[in-house]
Amino acid sequence: MNNAIYPWQDESWRQLQDMRRRLPHAILFHGEAGTGKADFIEAFAQSLLCEDVKADGFACGACVSCGWFSQHNHPDYRRVRPEALEDEPADAEEGGDGDGGKKTKSTKAPSKEIKIEQIRQLADFMNISTHRQGLRVVVLYPAEALNMPASNALLKTLEEPPPGTVFLLASNSLDRLLPTILSRCRKFALPLPEHAAALAWLKEQGLADADSWLREQGGAPLAALAQSASGNREDMDTLLQLLARPSVEGALKAADKLQKTPLAALVSWQQRWLYDLFAVKLSGSIRYFPRYQKELAALSATVHTGKLLQAIKSANDRRAIADHPLSAKLFVEAMLLDYTACCSPGAP
């Protein structure tokens, strides 16, 4: 990593410097998860606060402001993220230090949402003078973690932004944000890296079987590296083996085994499998799971196109509720039984 961003982000950084000349009050960085958006906007936030910015737009790393920033206590900087990500590093892409790093013990599961209290806490921060007459910078991600009250509170701030304050938001999914928030931010796309560039970077990190990991994560290199850290693909393969040979008995057994796996991940794996299955049926190509080429080819020869499209729609609908199921086991059972009904050989 160079200057706190990744090799595939060099061109995006150069484009961002053009925007800096007429800096909007809010920028929404968007793109696939696992591509380094968090590190990118952290680097930009530091450069906005730096007192001796380099010619290429990066922070100097040596001034007083950069010292504060590196110690996570810059008085003109706030980072907002869900409680569940408070222990995560910036490159987890979903978080920040909205409470200045203070932790409280609780028996409750940490919230995955950004709550209205976190947005309200920004009021005092924005109503006091900045240090050294510089900017205030608020980083918030993932923006789709804002619950409705928090979204409305943030919207009011974006409608009447305090002078000298810049909001840097990041999102993995623009369609999960309020249109009114989208309309009040300058959008900046951070695309997926080219496969060759991402693969080269993963190999530099010493990742074995880098190509398979990268493909399984949709071309997102940080997601591939994080997923590989688990050391195995047991849960994924349990799901994929059922998807390759769907049956009611297999669906129930798989659901029992997978009920503790993050549901969003399960749905995402199923969506990618269905994409590959549809692509194999139409063109013989595989994007995500080349390890299952034989199984995908065999299933594509028997599954009905209309049923496959129905399964794709069901998976897309299910993704919208994966973070808030009434029962994890029932959610997985319903997902796998629906797929079996659509995609088992000879399904009517």
Beta strands of the chain (E only): which ranges?
26-30, 77-80, 136-140, 165-171, 186-189
Structural domains of the chain in order of their starting residue, each with its CATH number: 7-191 (3.40.50.300), 232-343 (1.20.272.10)
- Is residue 177 within 8 A of residue 144, CB to CB? The reply is yes
Q: Are 52 and 221 in contact (CB under 8 A)?
A: no
Percent of the chain past pLDDT 90, that is, above it, reads: 74
Query: What are the pLDDT digits (tens) for 42-88?
Result: 999 999 999 999 999 999 999 999 999 999 999 999 999 998 877 55
pLDDT > 90? residue 28: yes
HEC per residue, 186-247? EEEECCCCCHHHHHHHHHHCCCCCHHHHHHHCCCCHHHHHHHHCCCCCHHHHHHHHHHHCCC
pLDDT of residue 107: 55
Residue 93 has pLDDT above 90, yes or no: no
Segment 191-208, tens digit of pLDDT: 999 999 999 999 999 999
**Structure-block tokens of residue 36:** 């380094």
Q: Are 125 and 92 in contact (CB under 8 A)?
A: no
**Partners of 140 in the beta sheet?**
80, 169
pTM of the predicted model, to two decimals?
0.84
Query: pLDDT by residue (tens digit) across 103-125?
Result: 444 457 788 899 999 999 998 88
Is pLDDT above 50 for 100?
no
